[in-house]
C-alpha cells in the first residue's frame, strides 16, 4: 500500500468516517456516541489509509483539581503525526464508584473528545438541547392535585442532590412535573454540575 502524506490520510478518514450516535441515555432522553463507537468505526479507515491511531492518558493537576488529559494521535511515516488533546475533570467522589472507576470514567470522556477533535466529529451540541422531557411516553404522567406543593417539594429535592444518581431519583419521583418548566430548568441546571468539564 502506498504511503500517503499524513494530512491527506487524515482528510480521507475525516471524509469517510461515519460514527452515528448509537447509545441512548434514558435519564436525559438523548442519543450519544461513545469513544468505543468512534474507535470501532475508525479502525478500518486507519488500515485503509496506512496510519496508526494511538490514544494515551496523563493525569495532570490544574489548580486544586485533577484532570485526565487524553491525546489521540495518528502516525504515518516515521516521525510524521497529528495529535489532539482533550481534558476531563475527575470527580472528587461519585456514588457507586471507587477511585479507579472515577478515573476510568473521566478517561473515557476525555478520549471521546480527543477523537472528536482529531476526526472533526461535531459533538458539541449540549445533550439538554436534544432532551425531550415533555415527550416522555415511557411512564404514565399523573398530574398532581396540588402542583405548587409538589413543585416546592421537588425543587427542595433537587437542591439536596449530591450526584447524578440522586438527581435521577428526584426526576423519576415527580413524573407529574415533567412538563413543568421550572422543574425541568432546575433539573438541567443541577445536571450541568455533574457533567465533566473539558
Distance (Å, whole) CA 162 – CA 158: 9
At residue 92, does pLDDT exceed 70? Answer: no
The pTM of the full predicted model, rounded to 2 decimals, is 0.58
Q: What is the mean pLDDT of residues 152-156?
A: 84
Domain annotation for the chain: domains and CATH numbers: 6-125 (3.30.390), 132-192 (no CATH)
- Is the Cβ–Cβ distance between 94 and 113 less than 8 Å? no
Residue 141, helix vs strand vs coil: coil
Residue from 109, 94, 117 nearest 33 by CA:
109
pLDDT tens digits for range 40-83: 999 999 999 999 999 999 998 877 788 899 999 999 987 899 99
- Is the Cβ–Cβ distance between 59 and 67 less than 8 Å? yes
The length of the chain in residues reads 198
At residue 182, does pLDDT exceed 80? Answer: yes
Residue 196 grid cell? 465533566
Which residues lie closer than 8 Å to 38 by C-beta, 6 or more apart?
19, 112, 115, 116, 119, 121
Amino acid at each position: 500500500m502506498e504511503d500517503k502524506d499524513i494530512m491527506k490520510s487524515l482528510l480521507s478518514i475525516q471524509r469517510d468516517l461515519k460514527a452515528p450516535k448509537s447509545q441512548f441515555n434514558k435519564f436525559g432522553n438523548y442519543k450519544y456516541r461513545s469513544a468505543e463507537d468512534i474507535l470501532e468505526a475508525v479502525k478500518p479507515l486507519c488500515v485503509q489509509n496506512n496510519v496508526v491511531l494511538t490514544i494515551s492518558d496523563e493525569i495532570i493537576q490544574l489548580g486544586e483539581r485533577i484532570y485526565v488529559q487524553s491525546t489521540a494521535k495518528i502516525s504515518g511515516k516515521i516521525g510524521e503525526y497529528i495529535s489532539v488533546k482533550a481534558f476531563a475533570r475527575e470527580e472528587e467522589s461519585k456514588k457507586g464508584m471507587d477511585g479507579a472507576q472515577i478515573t476510568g470514567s473521566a478517561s473515557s470522556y476525555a478520549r471521546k473528545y480527543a477523537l472528536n477533535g482529531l476526526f472533526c466529529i461535531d459533538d458539541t451540541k449540549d445533550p439538554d438541547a436534544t432532551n425531550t422531557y415533555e415527550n416522555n411516553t415511557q411512564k404514565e404522567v399523573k398530574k398532581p392535585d396540588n402542583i405548587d406543593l409538589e413543585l416546592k417539594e421537588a425543587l427542595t429535592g433537587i437542591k439536596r442532590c449530591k450526584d447524578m444518581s440522586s438527581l435521577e431519583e428526584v426526576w423519576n419521583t415527580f413524573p407529574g412535573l415533567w412538563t413543568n418548566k421550572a422543574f425541568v430548568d432546575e433539573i438541567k441546571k443541577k445536571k450541568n454540575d455533574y457533567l465533566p468539564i473539558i
